[in-house]
Structure 1
Amino acid sequence: MNTAVQIFDWKYEETSFERIDTFLSAEQSEWSRSQIQQWIKDGLVTVNDKSVKANYKLKMGDLIVVRILPPKELSIEPEDIPLHIVFEDEDVIVVNKQRGLVVHPAPGHYSGTLVNGLLYHCKDLSGINGILRPGIVHRIDKDTSGLLMVAKNDQAHAALAEQLKEHTTIRKYMAIVHGQVKHDKGTIDAPIGRDPKNRQQMSVVKEGKPAVTHFTVLERWLNFTLVELQLETGRTHQIRVHMKYIGHPLAGDPKYGPSKTLPIDGQALHAQALGFKHPRTDQDLYFEAPLPEDMEKAITLAQEN
């Protein structure tokens, strides 16, 4: 269990006067606004070394510090959540996550996640990311289905995290996007950061972190295109932001595109392929997950429109 105080800090560099609770909930999407407001009330959030209220309006240059105390007797309970395990050994689990399942707990929301299901399935998960994210090396969004790898011990976690950092993993996605993508292949190399106009979203911004997505067109229809996408980096909402940036937002995306154009609950995005070196044996591993039924139905309807 992680018993140390966690400290997060920011320097506010916007010209707008934004509420501190709004800013923090956008910066850390796993923190609920009610939890942030409680931390502010408890004096765990300071601006320029002073306590503030939740409605404090940030000014350019403000130094924000959040101190999260270690949880008291907090335990994430195992839950019998159906999981599709694609591969498992003493070091790694590869899961084909269903759409709608949150990957890990967050303050104020400790149940019904992939982690709860994993703890029911096996007791040994790495502890590098603390009590709320045991085993979690990388994430996919709640409403994205498909493959992700989970570490069962700290050695495996460190090795897999290093592969992600060095961009040596293979992560391929299938997506249905709006419009007809003209080029058969292409690379989107555009930095991603917090959207200055809507801090609940990410966007392509000059001062963002480097982000690279490769795409290949598989099929074109009248109003939609089926594409394969390969991540070189792994920024928050990267595929969703990049496809919107080039004028082809994902079908069904409630945050970055028209959300009700196809009968699918969330963005039409599936993590279809995952490849990496085994953290202990160095063996090349590669897995594919077939499209889920809701994506198949969405493709059928897209072909007809």
Structure 2
Amino acid sequence: MNDFPFPILFDSRDVVIIDKPAGLAVHPGPKTPHSLEDHLPALANGGFVPVAAHRLDRDTSGCLAVARTKRGAKLLSAAFEERKAEKAYWAILSSLPATAEGLVDAPLIKVSTAETGWRMVVRRDGKPARTHWQVLDAATRLVEFRPETGRTHQIRVHAARIGCPIAGDPVYGDGIGPMRLHARSLAITLPDGQRLDASCDPPADWPTSPGPESR
């Protein structure tokens, strides 16, 4: 794995957890021909081509689980399907919420128009989506989000739902500057009982993070 260019936070025969940089898409697309997939072969263990077990938005940094083997892919798939993955995200918001903590329970559905393309919106006929949040540092508007569900753009939409879009969000916020969303930690309990834990700090250009007493 010497050729893999990004930090490895957890390493086992079947699974690794990496620190994905902001600005790099997990999968290739029309606007993102270069993606994390270009680098995953460096994590291979045998003939299996490593695959990301979930996704992070292109502009979201942080913890991402990757299966190195077929067995790892099956274990991770089962863990995520059974909701045995605990995620915590840090975000800098465009404004400070009115309260120190809360829960957003707002179903999400994907909509698309020719003018604006696709996005996720809160709608009664959407899929259930629940996100807990807590202010970590009022001075920097740093907030921790812990999603119960894993819908596309869930944290971004729910942050906007409480009137405080994520700073730099180009779809649900003002799009000014880089989007400040970071997958701070990931804990996965595999079907065989193994527990994988990883965490990483936000990118260096973020405002100063809170001290241990605030985390």
Q: TM-score range by the shorter chain?
A: 0.7 to 0.9
SS for the counterpart of 2:74 is helix
Structure 1 residue 248: Cα displacement: 0.7
Query: Higher strand fraction: Structure 1 or Structure 2?
Result: 2
In structure 2, what is the equivalent of residue 10 of structure 1? none
SS for the counterpart of 2:141 is strand
Distance of aligned partners of 1:141 and 1:246 in 2 relative to their CA distance in 1, 3 Å threshold: same
SS for the counterpart of 1:203 is strand
Q: 1:126, 1:151 within 8 Å by CA — same for their partners in 2?
A: no
Distance of aligned partners of 1:291 and 1:278 in 2 relative to their CA distance in 1, 3 Å threshold: same
In structure 2, what is the equivalent of residue 193 of structure 1? 109
The question of 1:233 aligning with 2:149 is answered yes
Distance of aligned partners of 1:125 and 1:238 in 2 relative to their CA distance in 1, 3 Å threshold: farther
2-structure distance, mates of 1:166, 1:126: 24
The question of 1:114 aligning with 2:36 is answered yes
Structure 2 length-normalised TM: 0.85
In structure 2, what is the equivalent of residue 144 of structure 1? 60
In structure 2, what is the equivalent of residue 92 of structure 1? 15
Q: 1:125, 1:152 within 8 Å by CA — same for their partners in 2?
A: no
Alignment length (residue pairs): 206
The question of 1:268 aligning with 2:186 is answered no
Structure 1 residue 125: Cα displacement: 7.5
Deviation digits for residues 135-174 of structure 1 (CA, Å, limit 9, x no counterpart)? 2210000000000101122332222222222222110000
Q: 2:26 aligned to 96, 99, 103, which one?
A: 103
2-structure distance, mates of 1:157, 1:214: 28
2-structure distance, mates of 1:126, 1:218: 41
The question of 1:290 aligning with 2:201 is answered yes
Larger Rg: 1
Distance of aligned partners of 1:143 and 1:212 in 2 relative to their CA distance in 1, 3 Å threshold: same
SS for the counterpart of 2:118 is coil
In structure 1, what is the equivalent of residue 168 of structure 2? 252
Q: 1:186, 1:216 within 8 Å by CA — same for their partners in 2?
A: yes
Q: Residue 42 of structure 2 aligns to which amino acid in structure 1?
A: Y
The question of 1:177 aligning with 2:96 is answered no
2-structure distance, mates of 1:109, 1:200: 15
SS for the counterpart of 1:195 is strand
Query: Higher helix fraction: Structure 1 or Structure 2?
Result: 1
SS for the counterpart of 1:296 is coil
SS for the counterpart of 2:171 is coil
> CA RMSD of the aligned region, Å?
2.4
Structure 1 residue 178: Cα displacement: 1.8
Q: 1:87, 1:95 within 8 Å by CA — same for their partners in 2?
A: yes
SS for the counterpart of 2:92 is strand
1-structure distance, mates of 2:156, 2:31: 25
Q: 2:15, 2:68 within 8 Å by CA — same for their partners in 1?
A: yes
Distance of aligned partners of 1:251 and 1:144 in 2 relative to their CA distance in 1, 3 Å threshold: same
Structure 1 residue 109: Cα displacement: 7.0
Which structure 1 segments of 5+ residues have no match?
Answer: 1-79, 128-133, 301-305
Q: 1:217 aligned to 112, 124, 135, which one?
A: 135
1-structure distance, mates of 2:22, 2:199: 16
Structure 1 residue 113: Cα displacement: 1.4
Q: 1:250, 1:257 within 8 Å by CA — same for their partners in 2?
A: yes
Deviation digits for residues 89-139 of structure 1 (CA, Å, limit 9, x no counterpart)? 211010100011111224x57852111111134354856xxxxxx522100
Q: 2:78, 2:190 within 8 Å by CA — same for their partners in 1?
A: no
Structure 1 length-normalised TM: 0.61
Runs of 4+ in 1 over 3 A off after TM superposition: 108-111, 123-127, 195-199
Q: 2:187, 2:197 within 8 Å by CA — same for their partners in 1?
A: yes
Deviation digits for residues 187-235 of structure 1 (CA, Å, limit 9, x no counterpart)? 11111112366542111111111111110111224xx621000111111
